[in-house]
Structure 1
Amino acid sequence: MAIPKLVLACILLFAIVLQQVNSQGLKIDFYKKTCPSLESVVYATTARYISRVPSFAAALLRMHFHDCFVRGCDGSVLISSTSNNTAEKDSIPNQSLRGFQVIDAVKSAVERQCPGQVSCADILALVARDAVSLINGPSWPVPLGRRDGRVSNATEALFGLPPPFFNATQLIAAFASKNLTVKDLVVLSGSHTIGFSHCSTITTRLYNFTGVGDSDPSMDPNYVAALKRKCSPTDRTSIIQMDPGSSQSFDVNYYATVQKRRGLFQADAALLTNNETNAYVTKHSTSSATSSFFKDFAASMVKMGNIQVLTGSAGEIRRICSAIN
């Protein structure tokens, strides 16, 4: 009897995950004995929030990315500032992050079931996965066993996160520094298929790209005109869809948007300037490529979730996610 393609793909992904994480000290069944109900508790709590506010899915996925790119996936983005330290959370690139209440609620629910066992870093990784799957996006096995970091520094976030104005060379270098490939870059950029941004992030691109009151010539002029109708030069608060018309649906429409020169950020447009990323954008710009993108996204998310993880006796298991013990 032939094995269905989707089942085979899941089996292969699981095998790849096991191979990738063995050297990191993470395991799919890390909490099998200490917190067997973990994933069901995380899913149920996350679902309550996503059902009321679906846009949290994009926010929580972004939070996981911002955590992993600074000091690795150690939950340091969740730590609040103190009188003696300005934490990552308050760095300029992170000031628009939201959904921390979801993580806090999940942590509280997990603590009631398994006190002192599960790290905030693991909870964030699970919540990001579940949030995406709850809006009909892909799912993936999440290897567990991360420990929480004790350091959170705003300056590190300011310089460690790739900004939306990076070009292809800069983006490739930023991802390579985290052992992520060019393919991972373009696949994870696909997360821009959901969510919103603020007008302030594209003001320069619309109104003063080279300092002479011009717009970015890489953008479709009709798209520029549409964005200008929504965003004045001084608008700091209005929000705009990252994937117009499809911002709450996890799909391949983002790649079609980029191909039409309607990517919201310079970093989106940069995907057309590199042969490898351009080829992926072209290949995945139709709905027939959805299953391929979902498989690739799942694999890249597993890789991202392994960045510089703390395991064993390193770090700690925080009692609350917003403060070190």
Structure 2
Amino acid sequence: MSTSIFGIGNMRKLSLLVLILCILISVKNQNAEIKKSSSSSKTAVKWPYSSWDSFPSVFLSPLTSMEDDDGEVSWHSNRSLEYDFYRDSCPEAERIIRRVVHELYEVNSSVAPALLRLVFHDCFIEGCDASILLDAATGIDSEKDSPPNKNLKGFDIIDKIKSEIEMVCPGVVSCADIVALAGREGVVQAGGPFYPLYTGRRDAMHSFRDVATSELPSPNADLSETLASFASRGFDLRETVSLLGGHSIGVIHCKFFQNRLYNFGRTNKPDPSLDTGFLNLLRSRCNDSNSSMAASPSPSPSFKATPPAPSTSCDGTNSPAPSTSCDGTKSPAPSTSFDGTKSPAPAPSTSFDGTMSPSTAPSLSCSGSPSSSSRAAEMRGSPSLLSAPSPSLKGSISSPPSSSTPSSASFEDSLLSSLEEPGMNMAYEGPGVDFGTLYYRSLLQGKGILYSDQQLMAGIDTGIWVRAYASDISLFPRDFALAMMKLSNLRFLTGSKGQVRLHCSKVA
């Protein structure tokens, strides 16, 4: 009996010992996994959120350049940025950017397209790396000296933002992130959609003048050339059509469409695709004697934007290119897929991957309000990219304006240098709540100002999307925002591949 009890006691002790050993092994393995995860996060990403249930992963998974087996550069998803990257190191950064852009926009509305043009001309070359900001120096052929970039504006705006951020948290926030975020805030001020951005980009140590000269899209390109140019950066047909909708705001100067008015294709005749009445209007703005004038991204004569009109807002959700508009009515959008193929169904089939971002991240919105569920637009890369805005809708800004004067003399000089040059305001019918739809309606009527814009009607598939965006005020802002997110994530630098410049115009 006592032997049996003794045996049972030993068995219990043995079981307890085995249990303790199992627990120790489990804890050890868990610690190893934590260390492994922590180590890998230094080269990958430290996700602040555990679930992604809102934004399409194809657009919120940042893209970076990697080499394939043949050594060719390609575009791959590589999660190495994160939302609210500066939340600990410089929590005021995004608020400073928002405030400065808002204050400057109140002084001169040309801020919005100038900043958007900077985003495009930076990201379209070698990625969003602030290489566009570098001045010429020993070993650096500045992109600013490239012909398509000769009339870029907004450098003083970036410098102003950078100097204010450096006063709060020196050496932390990259110029590349400032360009991307300031471009978004400019878009919002102009009445377009808000789009969330990851941050954590680093600044390039080189500039790429030759690439900018040869690869930025041309205002005189035909449809196949435009599509090929955007496809080289990973944009499909639908995304290209939506990005060109950034031409909804700004002034395009006569230099870039003069040939369409008087001597198209050296025929001594106007472009036959131009509406006759619109041709006469353009000729009244740009007579033949102006043909020798240089182009400039100067602002429109009106410095102050008109008071904002109420903007049409979505419900804050972002289902992939739905077939209903914000008010619940059926969208007339086509079912063309992102590869440009055509389907008989009445609504577009979106191939944005399905689900949205962390619940704490702001969501896409069709309105111009910069709240956590709202805020956007102008862009395109070429000398013809719209660079001076018409009076446009503006979102409200939660942070109070600074008491200091928002514009410096150099900022005024850079924006007003060629104020009197003739051109055509893209919003020539006046500002309105239907951001983007005027641009597409104009193309349907043969009233596209740039040849490359009107060429969107030369293709069946691109024409389908022009009609869709012209008739659905909710579809275009959604697609435009997603495409801008993708643009802002092209081939960025992280870690030791880049640096944080102390002055945006020179390598640290």
- CA-based RMSD of the aligned residues comes to 2.0
1:120 equivalent in alignment to 2:175 = yes
Which of the residues 451, 474, 492 maps onto 1:266?
A: 451
Which of the residues 490, 495, 498 maps onto 1:307?
A: 490
Question: Cα–Cα, structure 1 residues 40 and 28, in superposed 2: closer, same or farther, change >3 Å?
Answer: same
Question: Cα–Cα, structure 1 residues 246 and 276, in superposed 2: closer, same or farther, change >3 Å?
Answer: farther
> 1:73·1:305 contact (CA, 8 Å) conserved in 2?
yes
Q: Distance in 1 between matches of 2:162 and 2:493?
A: 19
Q: Distance in 2 between matches of 1:243 and 1:125?
A: 25
1:200 equivalent in alignment to 2:385 = no
What's the offset of the Cα at 1:84? 6.4
2:362 corresponding residue in structure 1: none
Q: How many residues align?
A: 314
Question: Cα–Cα, structure 1 residues 53 and 77, in superposed 2: closer, same or farther, change >3 Å?
Answer: same
SS for the counterpart of 2:95 is helix
What's the offset of the Cα at 1:137? 1.3
Q: Distance in 2 between matches of 1:247 and 1:230?
A: 19
What's the offset of the Cα at 1:196? 0.9
1:317 equivalent in alignment to 2:359 = no
1:176 corresponding residue in structure 2: 231
1:283 corresponding residue in structure 2: 468
Higher helix residue share = 1
2:99 corresponding residue in structure 1: 44
1:216 equivalent in alignment to 2:271 = yes
Q: Distance in 1 between matches of 2:446 and 2:118?
A: 27
**What is the percentage of aligned positions where both structures have the same residue?**
35
1:4 corresponding residue in structure 2: none
What's the offset of the Cα at 1:248? 8.6
Q: Distance in 1 between matches of 2:149 and 2:89?
A: 33
> 1:220·1:260 contact (CA, 8 Å) conserved in 2?
yes
What's the offset of the Cα at 1:81? 2.5
What's the offset of the Cα at 1:15? 5.4
> 1:25·1:312 contact (CA, 8 Å) conserved in 2?
no
Q: What TM-score do you get using the length of structure 2 for normalisation?
A: 0.59
Q: Distance in 2 between matches of 1:171 and 1:85?
A: 29
> 2:62·2:80 contact (CA, 8 Å) conserved in 1?
no
Which of the residues 108, 113, 129 maps onto 1:53?
A: 108
Q: In the alignment, residue 455 of structure 2 is paired with which amino acid?
A: A
Show structure 1 runs of 5+ residues with no match: 1-9
> 2:261·2:269 contact (CA, 8 Å) conserved in 1?
yes
Question: Cα–Cα, structure 1 residues 29 and 144, in superposed 2: closer, same or farther, change >3 Å?
Answer: same
Question: Cα–Cα, structure 1 residues 228 and 310, in superposed 2: closer, same or farther, change >3 Å?
Answer: same
> 2:60·2:486 contact (CA, 8 Å) conserved in 1?
no
Q: Distance in 2 between matches of 1:321 and 1:160?
A: 23
2:127 corresponding residue in structure 1: 72
Cα deviation digits, residues 29-67 of structure 1 (max 9, x gap) = 222221111111110111111111112111111111111
The list of structure 1 runs, each at least 4 consecutive aligned residues, that deviate by more than 3 angstroms after superposition, is: 14-22, 82-86, 246-251
> 2:205·2:507 contact (CA, 8 Å) conserved in 1?
yes
Q: In the alignment, residue 452 of structure 2 is paired with which amino acid?
A: A
1:28 equivalent in alignment to 2:51 = no
Q: Distance in 1 between matches of 2:424 and 2:136?
A: 29
SS for the counterpart of 2:424 is strand
Q: Distance in 2 between matches of 1:36 and 1:220?
A: 51
Which of the residues 437, 442, 449 maps onto 1:252?
A: 437
1:242 equivalent in alignment to 2:430 = no
Q: In the alignment, residue 12 of structure 1 is paired with which amino acid?
A: S
Q: In the alignment, residue 69 of structure 1 is paired with which amino acid?
A: F
2:366 corresponding residue in structure 1: none
Question: Cα–Cα, structure 1 residues 55 and 281, in superposed 2: closer, same or farther, change >3 Å?
Answer: same
What's the offset of the Cα at 1:175? 0.9
1:90 equivalent in alignment to 2:145 = yes
Q: What TM-score do you get using the length of structure 1 for normalisation?
A: 0.90
SS for the counterpart of 2:477 is helix
SS for the counterpart of 2:252 is strand
Q: Distance in 1 between matches of 2:259 and 2:432?
A: 26
What's the offset of the Cα at 1:296? 0.8
Cα deviation digits, residues 118-165 of structure 1 (max 9, x gap) = 111110100011111123211110111111112223322111100111
Structure 1 range deviating more: 243-252 or 44-53: 243-252
Residues 91-110 of structure 1 correspond to what in structure 2 (within 5 A)? 91-110=146-165
1:293 equivalent in alignment to 2:335 = no
Q: In the alignment, residue 232 of structure 2 is paired with which amino acid?
A: S
1:7 corresponding residue in structure 2: none
> 1:243·1:257 contact (CA, 8 Å) conserved in 2?
no
Q: Distance in 2 between matches of 1:322 and 1:248?
A: 37
Q: Distance in 2 between matches of 1:233 and 1:307?
A: 40
Larger radius of gyration: 2
Question: Cα–Cα, structure 1 residues 248 and 52, in superposed 2: closer, same or farther, change >3 Å?
Answer: farther
Cα deviation digits, residues 271-315 of structure 1 (max 9, x gap) = 1112222111101213xx222211111110011111111112112
Q: Distance in 2 between matches of 1:157 and 1:248?
A: 34
> 2:222·2:451 contact (CA, 8 Å) conserved in 1?
yes
What's the offset of the Cα at 1:253? 1.2
> 1:194·1:246 contact (CA, 8 Å) conserved in 2?
no
SS for the counterpart of 2:83 is coil
Q: Distance in 2 between matches of 1:184 and 1:18?
A: 15
